[in-house]
Structure 1
């Protein structure tokens, strides 16, 4: 978890920018949201992740008032938006900034005019809104691009304009709807670094909607995993990576954390006399000590075949694939439990690895 924001489930209500309680939304026979409850704490970066059809798009449309839930409540800074009419929703929407996958810039307007547009709609005088636009273009690293048109910008620059525009009215909440999905990896990293910097400098609350675990890994404090309209897992990001609880989460993680090499996985059998392959998920301080401590108990019969230690936010997370003699398995499991590791027996091989 990033050190600048320590979200807590016991935080008082006045720290919640967003509160959802048992939110439901159906489209015919399909439950897009099926009893979603969550808090987004002031100043945190919350990642909401799930496959296509998990309910992410419906959730974000409910949060900005474009969809009405069939049941439940959605509070933005303590005010329930589910009962508000369109006129009352307008000032509340100004508390919510939005950045989009495809930028949604107006091609006939300059960068400066795109950023200042929300302020023009609010009735700010021209000089004041252009001064604010200049300030925000400096924040997102686009000083000197005020008079350019979107067609002259790269994808990353367009997204920076979108971020500046979203910040124009000083929102309490920034919603990012798959904002990096159309960008190349290098540009994605730069945009995520910008969002993290804005979060830290301005204390801005950010809610990321994404299907990419790399995105939440890069900047999120906490992760909510959606599947078929339900929250199937919710935890600090390092904990999700070190010990995922649901099958959905494990599937989403499969491409971004070490897996058993295919040439070894293809040799696994159920023979109990062969060498056992195990995976240990270790989070927090235990990650840095696990191999050292477990190695003392098995000085001659333990092999590291894959994996290592990564850092998610400020926390070390270890994932180790190990082999050892089958007769040592029981002792290994006992030792690993004492050390706080989560161990899964993957199978066995006929020959040592």
Structure 2
């Protein structure tokens, strides 16, 4: 099997472009307007070699414009889109074409050619490059084996399930050995079980090939499953970013808290309905902890250190990126001095704690 393409037709990145610890992508103050609307309003972020970065936001947040700027289909009004050391926003179409082949793309609706077989769909980018038929078929066979679809090489897309079609799309995106794989809502059209299998495949490919992946999604569960870092975009701006476990444990922006609402523990509806901001006999605290502190006996230490009672109303602990992340709701007597003591103790131990309201009884 021919593993190497000829130097005459393959784009060669700068010698240090993909060195360890170096950024594969760097966006610098990226701006793009459509009339009065700022689709991107000063976006700056990096994607490091070998990592999976998730970009999450609601519809209209700027995700689609961002990904189009990344693959050269949209020109920013200002700012830089640096891929493997070159600012693609400044390249002409002829210069851009070979660099585009360094960027693979998988789509929500697969975008397979119905009149071509699975192996021909996978080999299509190589046909466009002018590779020989033998080379194309060898590479297609290699990739179909990678995604677990070797037996479907001669099948047509109409005979495949949604998950199989997406696997073909992933194989096609890898055909030209890209440095960066862009995933644009790639699992949104799939059922939960198929979504899990596709995400597991992407993580496996990331690890086996040391492939850099940028995920565009509106689903926090996708971010939680496979991303190393997350950037939250809202109204064309990056409002929060960091390691996934850290952002999940301590979301700072309102949009991040909203997006995490279906994943992080919330007060049961019957208690939330009775919650008041007026002082009552019991204060309800939300306590968020993660990392090393979540491995410690925090509640038993609280009971022995701070006089007075408390009760655990609700909560849970999860593991994100092998780090424990917990959200707990505690009920404590609403005496101001006692509340301050409890908050001071919790914050002193590294927890994020706040009073979310008061309830009139313990039912």
Which of 340-349 and 175-184 deviates more? 340-349
Confirm or deny that 1:338 pairs with 2:348: yes
Unaligned runs of 5+ residues in structure 1 are: 1-11
Please give the root-mean-square deviation of Cα atoms over the aligned residues, in Å.
1.6
How many Å separate the matches in 1 of 2:300 and 2:146? 45
Cα contact 2:306–2:341 (8 A) shared by 1:
no
| 4+ residue segments displaced more than 2 Å | 269-273, 290-300
Residue of structure 2 equivalent to 1:22: 29
Q: 1:224 aligns with which of 217, 227, 231?
A: 231
Between 1:93-102 and 1:270-279, the stretch displaced more is 270-279
Residue number among 184, 202, 211 corresponding to 1:195 in the alignment: 202
- The farther-off stretch of 304-313 and 28-37 is 304-313
C-alpha displacement of 1:293: 2.8
Contact 1:288 1:318 in 2 (8 A): no
What displacement does 1:313 show? 1.2
2:136 to 102, 126, 129: 129
Query: Any stretches of 5+ residues in structure 2 without a counterpart?
Result: 1-18
TM-score (norm 1): 0.94
TM score, norm. by length of structure 2: 0.92
Pairing partner for 2:323 from 292, 307, 315: 315
C-alpha contact (below 8 Å) 1:271/1:350 kept by paired residues: no
- The structure-2 alpha-carbon separation of the partners of 1:295 and 1:137, relative to structure 1 and needing over 3 Å to count, comes to farther
Q: CA deviation at 1:195?
A: 0.4
Task: Quote the offset at 1:14 in angstroms.
Answer: 6.5
The answer to whether the Cα contact below 8 Å between 1:17 and 1:172 also exists between their aligned partners in 2 is yes
Is 1:118 the counterpart of 2:118 in the alignment? Answer: no
CA distance in 2, matches of 1:143, 1:25: 42
Q: Hey, what's the Cα distance between the residues in 1 that align with 2:213 and 2:247? A: 19
Aligned-residue offset at 1:306: 1.1
Distance of 2:302 and 2:43 partners within structure 1: 41
Is the contact made by 1:288 and 1:309 (CA closer than 8 Å) also made in structure 2?
Answer: no
Give the corresponding residue for 2:44: 37
Partner of 1:90: 97
Choose between structure 1 and 2 for higher RCO, CA contacts under 8 A separated by at least 6 residues: 1
